[in-house]
Structure 1
């Protein structure tokens, strides 16, 4: 693979462009707005850019880096321009709702999800090495061409990401737990604080908020469009996770109501012991 095309030059697409350019690939970029293409060229994200999807005809591999709700639509427009053996992939945080349709559109499609990002969005915050040490999930199916999977795995490894392979369904349930549910929980925390009826107490809480509140509320302060798309396209897995989370929150409430401090201590000791398995590798 020598030429890579990126459709959608936001944070993820732009960061991929910076890395693949650094690695010696010829990088093509397609964006909706000419000014985005111009910025990408100026920053060295891409070598050639256009607002016309026909540019992908030169590519050996194409990354769809558009919002979740536009991936299928854009893929339909991209496919007529692809080389016969070109690999098509996406970067969406939901796979089950997309992979079957994309696989039907193009036999050399492989679902992908680079799990790196920022609270901010857009090309202006794209950066090299964004994926280094971060998970990058590939979701092949029974229809995936083995050579295509090998090629994609090689690209992911060059990004120095931690590569994982699983089914689209396994991906969606796992991501519901550690990405989509936290957005909803964090947002609910902020909304609960906003329900404080006394303005002076709410202002005092805002003034006293420190690192603990910052950590637990961070993802709830992210881009609303992305959180909405997560819920819309991963609805079933998210609802399942919310139900189990509500059960655990109800258990805590019950322990506090009956003043079962030993029970609460045991509950918190369990979570203290379990947490490192989720976060130590991310530090």
Structure 2
């Protein structure tokens, strides 16, 4: 199968590696000719260009651009494609993307691979990135079964765990487990940097270890991605932040009241709940 990838960053480049290893002919498009050349040299794609017309020969196209560019790039892309081409995307927000694209392209299905690192760009791409990771598809009532089957088979071949949901359900869920942690983690880093005693701040930086590394990782990641998550999943994220604030206030009040027994119960309950999210 000929598969096109629009956007040769971490996700697009990683897709290219795996799809080529599965025997597909991979065509890549990037805004920078240097990225195209590098993707070919690394073996992520068979051919690459800054010209979207390269993707006219593709049976399936994955749009792997930043969230803000998905719809504008789609609008340019479809001028080069036959109507039979199946299009999917990898954006971490689904409702606004599906609402904008589905009415214009019948063979579209929204997607989101829950995989990645804090690094970006073609150099960050890696093989087997999607193995054992969740990959969400968000079809609507008009999505053709044939398009669904094609994308399903590709996703399964990557070794990913396939899930289905409505776009709005996806956005609410990822606001809780992906977008909220970015903002909370960013606030943690900002709180630490707000320490006014320079000696205490330096000591904290010297002593920071695995606990701080784990809880601060996503807050210290790609700022562009963090802003786009907040911008395009704004309401769901605000709802999650309100719930988080309520829980933080409850824990704060228990500490103010020196209610160590109830605090322990809360922490015990959280300890039992965590494995339901993280194996």
Length-normalised TM-score, structure 1: 0.98
Structure 1 counterpart of 2:94: 95
Structure 2 counterpart of 1:130: 129
Structure 1 counterpart of 2:48: 49
For structure 1, which segment, 246-255 or 82-91, has the greater mean C-alpha deviation from structure 2 after superposition? 82-91
SS in 2 for 1:28: strand
Q: Distance in 1 between matches of 2:71 and 2:245?
A: 33
Q: Distance in 2 between matches of 1:179 and 1:41?
A: 32
1:48 Cα offset (Å) = 1.1
Structure 2 counterpart of 1:169: 168
Q: Distance in 2 between matches of 1:177 and 1:250?
A: 18
Structure 2 counterpart of 1:275: 274
Unaligned runs of 5+ in 2: none
The answer to whether the 8 Å contact 1:76/1:105 transfers is no
Q: Distance in 1 between matches of 2:245 and 2:32?
A: 43
SS in 2 for 1:156: helix
Listed one character per residue, the Cα deviations across residues 6-55 of structure 1 (whole Å, up to 9, x for unaligned) are 00000000000000000000000001111111001111111111110011
Length-normalised TM-score, structure 2: 0.99
Q: Distance in 1 between matches of 2:103 and 2:68?
A: 17
Q: Distance in 1 between matches of 2:83 and 2:220?
A: 43
Structure 2 counterpart of 1:82: 81
1:82 Cα offset (Å) = 1.2
Q: Distance in 1 between matches of 2:249 and 2:33?
A: 52
1:84 Cα offset (Å) = 2.4
Q: Within the alignment, does 1:263 sit opposite 2:251 as a pair?
A: no
Q: Distance in 2 between matches of 1:207 and 1:48?
A: 47
Structure 2 counterpart of 1:17: 16
Q: Distance in 2 between matches of 1:104 and 1:57?
A: 21
1:268 Cα offset (Å) = 0.1
Listed one character per residue, the Cα deviations across residues 115-172 of structure 1 (whole Å, up to 9, x for unaligned) are 1111110000101100000010000001111111111111000000011010000000
State the number of aligned residues: 279
Q: Distance in 2 between matches of 1:159 and 1:198?
A: 50
Q: Distance in 1 between matches of 2:27 and 2:263?
A: 56
Structure 1 counterpart of 2:57: 58
Q: Distance in 2 between matches of 1:106 and 1:256?
A: 54
1:258 Cα offset (Å) = 0.5
Q: Within the alignment, does 1:139 sit opposite 2:138 as a pair?
A: yes
Q: Distance in 2 between matches of 1:36 and 1:19?
A: 18
Structure 2 counterpart of 1:198: 197
1:80 Cα offset (Å) = 1.5
